Structure 1
Amino acid sequence: MLPVLADLLTLGIAIAISPLAIVAVILMATAGKGRTNGTAFILGCYTFAIVFIGILVIIGRATGTDEPDSGPHITIDVIEIILGAGLLVLALMQWRHRSEPGTPKWMDSLDGLTLWKAFFVGILISGPLSPKDLPLLAAAGGRISQAALPIEEVVGVILIFGVIGVAAVAIPWLFSVISPSTVEARLTGPRTWLVSNHAVIMTVLFVVLGFKLIGSGVADLAG
């Protein structure tokens, strides 16, 4: 179990470093809704991650991806290489748009979200609307499905991986819970920096992770 988690650590940290998701929680926290909407948002991110990965693992293991020499196992490696190449393309696209100012328009409506809408936005931002997180979650699902582990350890890996994936997003939420009176003063600076440097951060992440996935897939096929 621990070797699998170690192998997934890079992917988990990369999912955690999601500037727009972090900014969304900061906006909720500085608006005084960090303990309610922020909690729902993080739960939405976590729920999507573990459910999405869980479905991929179930499908993968049902087709025999945990058998090293099986066709499905090789297919997962090929998909991983394709996902890595896709991330490199996204890196180029992000770099070309690095000078575009401002925050996405959907962030302007965060102050008025209800609890359930915040949960739903968390689901969307953690995968369906994230060009970074969805391929990384798919790669993690493929990696976990290939692991020769008993089912209870597979479940444990998925749950722990989900926690790693929301760790960075949870930091501003913790500020809103522990010290709500000073949360705006503490988080305004980081929010501005993340918005200003979002494209550059994402470009670096896409490049590093693209080569990481390609290298892992090629190494598996060669081994």
Structure 2
Amino acid sequence: MVLDLLLIGLGITLEPFPLVAFVLVLSAERGVRKALAFILAWLACLVGVIAAVLLLTGGHPPAHKTGGSTAAITVKLVVGVGLIMYGEYKRRTAGRPRKTPKWLARLHEVNSWTAAGLAVLLQPWGLVAAGAATVVEANLNHGATYLALLGFCLVATASQLTLELYAVFAPRTAGARLERLSNWLDNHHDQAIVVLSLLIGFWLVGKSISQLV
């Protein structure tokens, strides 16, 4: 469970599109405050999903090859297959002209509430669903489980937290570096999606099939 959560958390935090949006929000006027609202909403989604799963399972994983266990594994399998298909699609279409959504240019003007709403909308819900299916295995009778769940939330928010702290403690240099990061993400958007999607997709599919067999 721990390794699965780590890989899924990395996929969530490195997902290029929400990261680009976060950088634009952070670069705006009073961006630190708006980015904080983004982070809190992002974290709230993760915590809410984990809490909902634990309420359903009672903090005890379902027995192997029961309906609940099979359903959770199937969710991970479906997400994994979807990621592989999406990654392959992006690999085949890489290099084609890509239109930047017009609303991205308006992120410098959003308020804190809108930034929080964006965090909810831009959350990579497919990966979050895979994380939720993995949390089904959590056993709250073990103290290490709490650390694993906390670690998942921190890893899944690591990129935003790092950039936020950098903007707070190094505001003079943050602006130029955030702009360079935004340009790099824009130029390597498709490549990043291909690597993340195929890596996590194949891992989820392989792990799910081994658990189902």
State whether TM-score is above 0.5.
Answer: yes
Alignment of 1:126-141 (within 5 A): 126=123, 133-141=124-132
SS in 2 for 1:36: helix
Alignment of 1:114-193 (within 5 A): 114-126=111-123, 133-150=124-141, 156-193=147-184
Distance 1:97 1:206, change over 3 A: same
Q: Take 1:58 and 1:18, find their aligned partners in 2: how far apart are those partners?
A: 28
Partner AA of 1:164 in structure 2:
V
Q: What displacement does 1:57 show?
A: 3.6
Alignment of 1:1-223 (within 5 A): 4-59=1-56, 61=57, 65-98=61-94, 99-126=96-123, 133-150=124-141, 156-222=147-213
Q: What displacement does 1:51 show?
A: 0.9
Q: What displacement does 1:94 show?
A: 2.3
Whether the aligned pair in 1 keeps the contact of 2:88 and 2:194 (CA below 8 Å) is yes
Q: Take 1:92 and 1:215, find their aligned partners in 2: how far apart are those partners?
A: 17
Q: What displacement does 1:216 show?
A: 1.1
Q: Take 2:101 and 2:50, find their aligned partners in 1: how far apart are those partners?
A: 27
TM-score (norm 2): 0.88
SS in 2 for 1:146: coil
* CA RMSD between the two structures: 2.3
Distance 1:57 1:103, change over 3 A: farther
* Corresponding residue of 1:130: none
SS in 2 for 1:38: helix
Q: What displacement does 1:22 show?
A: 2.0
Whether the aligned pair in 2 keeps the contact of 1:65 and 1:146 (CA below 8 Å) is yes
Partner AA of 1:23 in structure 2:
V
Partner AA of 1:177 in structure 2:
V
Whether the aligned pair in 2 keeps the contact of 1:54 and 1:141 (CA below 8 Å) is no
Query: Which ranges of 4 or more aligned residues in structure 1 deviate by more than 4 Å?
Result: 151-156
Q: Which moved more, 1:155-164 or 1:187-196?
A: 155-164
Residue-by-residue CA offset, 1:163-202 (whole Å, 9 max, x unaligned): 1101012222222111112212222222101011111110
Whether the aligned pair in 2 keeps the contact of 1:66 and 1:148 (CA below 8 Å) is no
Number of corresponding residues: 212
Q: Take 2:26 and 2:140, find their aligned partners in 1: how far apart are those partners?
A: 40
SS in 1 for 2:188: helix
Q: What displacement does 1:47 show?
A: 0.9
Whether the aligned pair in 1 keeps the contact of 2:62 and 2:136 (CA below 8 Å) is yes
Partner AA of 1:204 in structure 2:
V
User: Which structure 2 segments of 5+ residues have no match?
Assistant: none
SS in 1 for 2:139: coil
Q: What displacement does 1:118 show?
A: 0.8
Q: Take 2:2 and 2:29, find their aligned partners in 1: how far apart are those partners?
A: 35
SS in 1 for 2:179: helix
Q: Take 1:6 and 1:88, find their aligned partners in 2: how far apart are those partners?
A: 19
Whether the aligned pair in 2 keeps the contact of 1:88 and 1:207 (CA below 8 Å) is yes
Q: Which moved more, 1:91-100 or 1:15-24?
A: 91-100
Q: Identical aligned pairs, as a percentage?
A: 26
